[in-house]
Structure 1
C-alpha cells in the first residue's frame, strides 16, 4: 500500500501519495470548487503508477479560507509552486480542471522549469461571452440567495440532463456536502472574478510543454470551441473531445478520460 503524507504550506493543505521508485510526480488542481476530492474518480488510475500530489485551493476545503490581496489566476499558479516546493517536487506533470487548468497554463509561463506535461480540462486562454454569462448568473444567485441556491444550480452547469435525472439522490446528498463546506461568499466571488479576468491568448506560443487539451462536446459551461482555440494556439498540444459527459466529464465518463490521461502522462500520445 502506498505511503500517504499530508501537510500545510503557506496555508495550503496538501497530500502526497507515494508511487513506485522513480515514478513521475503528478499534481492535481481542481476547478472552481477547489477541493482535492474532485479527483476521486482518477485516483485508482493514477496511484500505483505515479507519485500523486493533491491540494485544496486557497480559500477552499482544508486550506486557508481567506485569499491574499489581488487574487488572480497568477496567484493560483504561485500556490501550485508553493505546494511543489513544500513536497520537494522539482518538476511534475499537472492535471487541472477549468480554474486548475488555467492556473497550470499560467504556471507554464511563469515557472516553465517546474512542469513536464500539462493536462488542461475545460480550460480557456481568454475571456468568453458564454462563460461570462454563466458565471454572471451563478454570481447573482449567490449574492441574492446565498450558497444553497448556488450549489443547487451547480449541477445544471456540470452534468448532462439525463445524467442529472438518473443521479438525483446522489446530487441532493452532494448539495448538502457542498453547502456545508462552501467558501466565504467574498472568496467565491473573487475566484470567479479571477477566472473572468484571465487572458493569456497572446502568450500561448510561449508554452512549449506537451499539453493535452481535454473537453466534452456537450459542456454547457465552457464550450468546446474554447478548448479548440487553446489547442490551436499552443505549439505542442493534443486536443481530445469526448462526445458526451458535460463539464464534469472526468466523473461522468471517468473510464474514457482516465485511459487518455494515463496514456498522455506516459508519453504514449
Structure 2
C-alpha cells in the first residue's frame, strides 16, 4: 500500500502498480472515510488495484472546505485530483450515497475520466424523505452536538435487528467516530450539498455502464430513488437487495460484492 496527499486530500493505493491496468476508485458516503469500504477490499484486490481516499473535510484529509458555496461538483472534482495524483487517465468509480452522487456528477463534468460507475443508494434529485432525515440530523448536530449525532447514526444506516446484534461493536466504534468527527460547519456544508444535488434533467446524458444498487429497507434513501436512476439512465443495471439497510455494503457485503465484481468484470 502507498499513500499520499494532493491538495489536502489523503489517498491510498492498494494492489499497485497501476500501469496498464483497470483501477477501482472507492468513494464513501456522508462520513467521508475511505475505511468504510473495508468489507469490499479483499474481493476487489483479487482483481484490480484499488484507490481509497477521505473526502475533503473528513478523515485524514484537510479538515476544512474551500471558501464559497460547496457542492457535489466539488466532490467530483476531488476525485479527478486523486486520479491525477496517481496518473490515472480514468477509473471505475464505486460510490456510496454521497460518493455515488459525486460519481454521477463526474460522469457529467468529466466523462472521459470515468470507466464504469457503481452507485449504491444514490439519488438524482431531492427527495422529501431524504430531506426529513437530513433535517433531523442537522437538528441533532446543532442542538445537541456530535455525540448525539453519532449515537443516532446507526438508526439511519442499519436494520434494527442488525443494530441489536452488533450493539457492542457499534458502541466501540462510536467513541472513534466522535473523536474523528469533522468540524460542524464542514458536516453541515456536506449535508446541504447533498440536499441541493439535482441532476434529474440530465440523466440521459450519462451513457456509461452503470450499476445501481439499493436495499429495499434503506431508512435514509428510499429505494424508489435508485429505481428512478436505473429507469432513466440509458445504460444501467439494477441490483435490489431485500435486507441490509442504507449500509448494506457493511451488513451484507457478500451479496453486494458478488454483484460488484460481476459488473466490473463485464458479466
TM-score under structure 1 normalisation?
0.97
The 10-residue stretch of structure 1 (111-120 or 46-55) with the greater mean CA deviation from structure 2? 46-55
The answer on whether the counterparts of 1:14 and 1:54 sit within 8 Å (CA) in structure 2 is yes
Superposed counterparts of 1:103-182, under 5 Å? 103-182=102-181
SS in 1 for 2:94: strand
Counting only pairs closer than 5 Å after superposition, residues 11-90 of structure 1 correspond to structure 2 as: 11-19=8-16, 22-69=20-67, 70-90=69-89
Query: How many angstroms apart in 2 are the aligned matches of 1:58 and 1:199?
Result: 21
Corresponding position of 1:8: 5
Separation (CA, whole Å) in 1 of partners of 2:202 and 2:138 = 29
CA distance in 2, matches of 1:67, 1:53: 22
TM-fit CA distance, 1:59: 0.2
CA distance in 1, matches of 2:32, 2:246: 15
Aligned to 1:243: 242
* Equivalent in the alignment of 2:214: 215
Cα deviation for residue 256 of structure 1 reads: 0.7
Q: Deviations over 1:145-180 (max 9, x none)?
A: 100000000000000000001000000011111001
Tell me by how many angstroms 1:23 deviates: 3.0
Equivalents in 1 of 2:21, 2:177: separation in Å? 34
| Inter-partner Cα distance in structure 2 for 1:161 and 1:19 | 39
Q: Which moved more, 1:69-78 or 1:18-27?
A: 18-27
Q: CA deviation at 1:238?
A: 0.4
Q: Counterpart of 1:257? A: 256
Q: Which residue of 2 aligns with 1:197?
A: 196
Structure 2 Cα separation of the partners of residues 10 and 181 of structure 1: 20
Q: What stretches of structure 1 move > 2 A for 4+ residues in a row? A: 18-23
Q: How many residues align?
A: 265
The structural deviation recorded for 1:48 is 2.7
Q: Secondary structure at the match of 1:90?
A: coil
Question: 1:65, CA displacement in angstroms?
Answer: 0.4
Q: Is the 8 A contact 1:13 1:63 kept in 2?
A: yes
> Root-mean-square deviation (CA), in Å?
0.9
Per the TM alignment, residue 19 of structure 1 is displaced from its structure 2 partner at its CA by 4.6
CA distance in 2, matches of 1:151, 1:23: 39
Distance in 2 between the 1:242 and 1:13 partners?
32
Q: 1:132, 1:126 → 2: CA distance?
A: 11
Confirm or deny: 8 A CA contact 1:121 1:214 kept in the other structure.
yes
Cα distance in structure 2, aligned partners of 1:258 and 1:89: 24
Counterparts of 1:36 and 1:160 in 2: how far apart (Å)? 22
2:205 maps to 206
Query: Which ranges of structure 2 fall in alignment gaps of 5 or more residues?
Result: none
